[in-house]
Structure 1
Amino acid sequence: MTKKSAPSPAKPVFLDQKFWDNFAKNIWEKKPLVLKNVKSGLLELGNVEIFDLLVLYANQCRKLNDPTGFKFYIDGFKADAEDVLQVLPEKSDKSLLGYHARMKALFPDYCLVCDELLQVNLKKQHLLAEFTDELYRHVGFPNRFSEMGLYLGNYRKTPFGVHVDSCGVFSFPVVGTKRFRIWTSEYAKKNPALDRAFKYDKYKKDSLLLEVGPGDMTYWPSSAWHIAESDGSFSATWSLGVWVDHPHKEMVAQAFNSLLEQKLGPTGKTVTTPFKSLHSKAGEVTELPEAYKTSIQALQSLTAKELQETFLKSWMTHISLQGFKTIPHIAVKLSAKSRIQLRSDKSMILWQQGLTSKDRFFFSFGGALVESTKASGFLKLVKALNAGETCLISDFIKGATAKKDLSSLQALANAGAFV
């Protein structure tokens, strides 16, 4: 009998410019993709690192007595929030497989989901940022956000059945083999019984099966209907979901809303509208109430600079999160005597000078927006920090605005700007 030789390992796939150019042109939001033997810094987020992050976030939840961000399913049924804290990973589990051994002794079929690992992913967050920076450069910055999720367990099917999300998903197994079954949105529309289905044998022939293991990566677009399948073996997979359900018009409306609040004043806060007559005897509506006339005047008075400044502030605040739902940070309490430095040379404090007043400056980090007037010292401090310097606050923030500027700096610290 001839002994079969082991299959040759897949040729390494590098996520270089050639890959991203092709991905943006032919794959993104168009069709699924499976890559074997991926060469990327993201592979540093392996089973050991993921276990450490999981325990770190679980400890945080236990300390707060709040399991928000975790979901636990037993035989496909979602556990109550108060019970989730009892089944979270612990340091004594030592590994993902150790946690699985403890859970398997309690539950024949379980699934743990964590949607908030980015909150504690301080050391490795730059790896995600490097990946998403390239993605965004090629497909555009998401109007919503990206978030990191984790699925682990020995569940045979995704606990909520065949479903579709509003995000494109990059998935990275760290333990075991992961199988995803995919259908197109067109097919799902013609077969509505697929929605949340657990029994779908008659639809399998029209599906695409993606199978990946540690070192591999798979992607599917936001329109793909999907479900994870298993033979009951343990697997752990983290993913990056890029949400694409927030159209540009909503970004504009969101930015404009803050300007309306400022421009309309008390009129914008009224909850009833005085009127002379609602309509004529024939039902014709011809007259606007006074509140609307006042609002029209306020809108007509808007200048191009006010609009430009409003949208610049909104855009700056949005991109200050680097495209993520949350970013991890270490709590830092500041005083004038504090020495501070940026958490990362790739996570700068963004700023802009006001257009309606050259004495106003706006600064943003991690979704926080602060304002400073006549901010020469504050601006010098931000520029020094962005240049990679470690700074003594009192060398920059002085005089009449010192108290307010220190408060603004603390807001940036609370958003995670400093270490």
Structure 2
Amino acid sequence: MKEQASRFDEAWWEGFLSESRQLSRPVVFKNALDADRIAAFQRAVLDILATLARLRTRRYGFRVYAAGRLLDDDEMNHIYDSPPQAEESVETWSQRVFAGIPFGIILNSGEKFHHDLSREIARMLAPLFDKIGLPREGIQFSIFIGDYDKTPLGIHQDKRGENVIHFHAGPAAKTMYLWEPEQYARLTEEEGIAKRDFAALKPHARTFHFEAGDLFFMPEGTYHIGAQDQLSIGVTVWQYTHTNQALADNLHAFLLKQLDGEPDEAITHDPSPPDDAGALDAILARRRLPEEYRGLDYEQMLRLAYQDWRHCLASNAGYRNSPFPLEPASPLTRSDRVQTEAPYRMLTRDTTPGRMAVYVRGNKLEMNRHPGLIAMLDRLNQGQACAVAELLGLLNPRWPAKIGLHLLGELLHWRGIRQLDAPSG
């Protein structure tokens, strides 16, 4: 176990890479989070649970277990009807909702739900990614909450290329049990131990114990299970660098999103000969293929999709999931002030002659390319507070103010910037 200062600066991550042998060795870093961060992480997790209760959804990998059993849709209504209150701690909320029954909660895509927590984690990780580059398929964070005996998923191995940085927010401790793939195969295939027989496999495991404020790193490929007997919260950041085939599959899915068309109800037979592709005309006419993709062969299209993919990730500090858009209470005016929030940056890329793409928190906006727009985005990316009037002054003086206000409104909507001193409500 490595004692470290809670700075998460370049030197800290140098030590992390050294101790983890360049992301290949599990290790616990003691006291990585200070008391303020522990409290902030706990409060943010409760806020996320309140948001999910308001949305009344099981999307985003939201699963709740009680007494070792996954709750069904009807039982989830009790969770939705019992959101954490502003004054509650995780202890008081869980006691009110579960009344002493051992429970476990797992939530994926946590970065979509809490702006401050997502930004804080992105800032903490930025020096690491400056060193090693962004994972090819981005990052997301999952949240584990509960006082269950062992992880409800049982002993399991995650997909190839997925490693995890576990920020432990307490209040109680947790122990992870790990088996190397070759060891696990020998124990279960050659020695005949049942694959999920924790009692029989436990003596062969490497154990990693961590407490509130500690950080645990687990490399890809290991079989594992977590255990605790008291209430704890873990915020686990997953780095995705999957196989080349998995990346290709994701790029194909990304390409299909570029081809989205208007839905229709046409369900017809095709009586034409097999060599007649005319039935596709109606389908192709509804595809909204970006202009820069037109006329490309398969390899060119896939390369362009990869560029788009990487710009989306880079504009969102590596997060593969964009935040929910913001609906401002009122439009921006010349007297307002706005600011970007490091480490997020708005990126641009030239597409077709006279056109450019602007990437904002993982979203791609297409617009005409003008030097004034580039200057505006460069000014915002400096991270300082900017008066809207100043930003409008960077644009073509012949343009009406509504053009610049509309663009800034789009950046605000997609959470690339925030309004300072915004009205509450």
* Structure 1 residue 413 corresponds to structure 2 residue 399: no
- Secondary structure, in 3 states, of the residue corresponding to 2:375? helix
Write the distance in 1 (CA, Å) between the matches of 2:28 and 2:363: 37
Structure 1 counterpart of 2:121, one-letter code: L
- TM superposition shift of 1:19: 4.8
| Superposition TM-score, scaled by structure 2 size | 0.73
Aligned to 1:57: 48
Aligned to 2:281: none
Question: Which stretch of the first structure deviates more once superposed, 142-151 or 371-380?
Answer: 371-380
The answer to whether the 8 A contact 1:162-1:195 is kept is: no
CA 1:132/1:382 → structure 2, altered by over 3 Å: closer, same or farther? same
Which ranges of structure 2 fall in alignment gaps of 5 or more residues? 261-268, 277-293, 419-425
CA 1:194/1:406 → structure 2, altered by over 3 Å: closer, same or farther? farther
Aligned to 1:71: 63
Structure 1 counterpart of 2:414, one-letter code: A
Write the distance in 2 (CA, Å) between the matches of 1:67 and 1:222: 27
- Secondary structure, in 3 states, of the residue corresponding to 2:167? strand
Aligned to 1:362: 357
Of 347, 351, 367, 2:348 maps to 351
The answer to whether the 8 A contact 2:64-2:104 is kept is: yes
- Secondary structure, in 3 states, of the residue corresponding to 2:153? coil
Write the distance in 2 (CA, Å) between the matches of 1:196 and 1:75: 22
Of 234, 237, 241, 2:234 maps to 237
CA 1:413/1:75 → structure 2, altered by over 3 Å: closer, same or farther? same
Write the distance in 2 (CA, Å) between the matches of 1:123 and 1:92: 16
Structure 2 counterpart of 1:152, one-letter code: I
The 5 A counterparts of 1:79-98 are 79-87=71-79, 89-91=83-85, 94-98=88-92
- TM superposition shift of 1:299: 4.7
* Structure 1 residue 140 corresponds to structure 2 residue 139: no
Of 13, 22, 45, 1:20 maps to 13
* Structure 1 residue 114 corresponds to structure 2 residue 107: yes
Q: Deviations over 1:372-399 (max 9, x none)?
A: 2242333232223223223236544776
- Give the number of the structure whose alpha-carbon radius of gyration is greater: 1
> Between the two proteins, what is the percent identity of the paired residues?
16
* Structure 1 residue 325 corresponds to structure 2 residue 324: no
The answer to whether the 8 A contact 1:54-1:89 is kept is: no
Which ranges of structure 1 fall in alignment gaps of 5 or more residues? 1-8, 263-270, 278-296
Write the distance in 2 (CA, Å) between the matches of 1:382 and 1:414: 15
CA 1:307/1:65 → structure 2, altered by over 3 Å: closer, same or farther? closer
- TM superposition shift of 1:226: 0.7
Aligned to 2:368: 373
What RMSD in Å do the two structures reach over aligned CA positions? Answer: 3.9
Aligned to 1:284: none
- TM superposition shift of 1:133: 1.4
The 5 A counterparts of 1:166-181 are 166=159, 167-173=162-168, 174-181=170-177
- TM superposition shift of 1:168: 1.1
* Structure 1 residue 163 corresponds to structure 2 residue 156: yes
Structure 1 counterpart of 2:231, one-letter code: F
- Secondary structure, in 3 states, of the residue corresponding to 2:237? strand
The answer to whether the 8 A contact 2:333-2:405 is kept is: no
Q: How many residues align?
A: 374
Q: Deviations over 1:11-51 (max 9, x none)?
A: 5456554553354365344221112233x57x6431x3234
Aligned to 2:213: 215
The answer to whether the 8 A contact 2:44-2:114 is kept is: yes
Aligned to 2:225: 227
Write the distance in 1 (CA, Å) between the matches of 2:396 and 2:100: 58
Structure 1 counterpart of 2:198, one-letter code: Y
Write the distance in 2 (CA, Å) between the matches of 1:195 and 1:130: 43
